[in-house]
């Protein structure tokens, strides 16, 4: 009888810890790993970072220059269930590792902004951006121009010549912003 009582106590403790871990990972803070070199020199391949998720959970708009973790599958809508099944703890049990869908990028444009690339330079609303964080000057490509729609952001990697970002995948819906990088 005493064994069952102790086992029940342990199971209750483990259950509470599991639920608390899910809550923290979905709404407060979650670790991510940088995959690739698109954020060089600011962040490096395989570097661990932590994303603050409270802003995402409340639907707040990230600031210009914030480093954000995004769900790159912009052609589908996200819901709360996605946050649950993509939690690292749940992934351990399901064996479903979807890290490659999460990109780490920098916010360049917010809703209503006009983003232009001319002669390898980035302009927001007609003003050239001063970007001391980029790895190197962008290779000159044909001029491009975008207007960021409502409830979306425009993101780019710091290694502009080696980054799959809004220039390729399109605008990022706000519900695809998984969190804002807070700690290294």
**Encoding tokens for residue 139?**
């290779």
What domains does the chain contain, in order, with CATH numbers? 2-183 (2.10.109.10)
Q: Each residue of 157-171: pLDDT tens digit?
A: 999 999 999 999 999
Distance CA 79, CA 81 (A): 5
Per the omega criterion (within 30 degrees of 0), is the bond before 103 cis? Answer: no
Q: Each residue of 51-100: pLDDT tens digit?
A: 888 776 676 789 999 999 998 888 888 877 777 777 666 666 666 555 57
Mean pLDDT, the chain, as a whole number?
Answer: 86
Identify the band that residue 121 occupies on the pLDDT scale cut at 50, 70 and 90: very high
Identify the band that residue 21 occupies on the pLDDT scale cut at 50, 70 and 90: confident
CA nearest 103: which of 33, 55, 47?
Answer: 33
Active site residue 33: no
- Of 38, 55, 72, 163, which one is the catalytic site residue? 38
pTM over 0.85: no
Q: Phi-psi region for residue 36, left (φ > 0), alpha (ψ -120 to 50) or beta? A: left
What's the rounded mean pLDDT across residues 144-154?
Answer: 96
Active site residue 21: no
- Of 53, 105, 135, 181, which one is the catalytic site residue? 105
The pLDDT of residue 30 is 83
Judged on CB neighbours under 10 Å (0-12, 13-18, 19+), 160 is buried
The pLDDT of residue 57 is 63
The pLDDT of residue 109 is 97
Where is pLDDT greater, at 101 or 172? 172
For the chain, how big is the Rg over CA atoms in Å? Answer: 19
The pLDDT of residue 60 is 78
Distance CA 145, CA 59 (A): 27
Where is pLDDT greater, at 40 or 58? 40
Distance CA 103, CA 32 (A): 10
């Amino acid at each position: 009888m005493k064994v069952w009582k102790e086992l029940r106590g342990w199971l209750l403790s483990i259950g509470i810890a599991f639920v608390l871990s899910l809550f923290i990972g979905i709404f407060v803070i979650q670790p991510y790993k940088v995959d690739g070199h698109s954020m060089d020199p600011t962040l490096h391949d395989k570097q661990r970072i932590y994303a603050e998720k409270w802003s995402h959970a409340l639907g707040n708009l990230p600031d210009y220059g914030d480093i954000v973790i995004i769900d790159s599958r912009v052609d589908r809508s996200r819901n709360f269930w996605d946050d649950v099944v993509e939690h690292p703890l749940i992934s351990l049990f399901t064996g479903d590792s979807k890290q490659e869908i999460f990109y780490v990028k920098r916010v360049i444009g917010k809703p209503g902004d006009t983003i232009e690339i001319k002669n390898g330079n980035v302009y927001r609303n007609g003003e050239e951006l001063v970007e001391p964080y980029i790895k190197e000057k962008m290779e000159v490509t044909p001029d491009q121009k975008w207007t960021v729609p409502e409830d979306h952001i425009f993101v780019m990697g710091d290694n502009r010549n080696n980054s799959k970002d809004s220039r390729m995948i399109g605008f990022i819906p706000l519900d695809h912003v998984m969190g804002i990088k807070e700690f290294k």
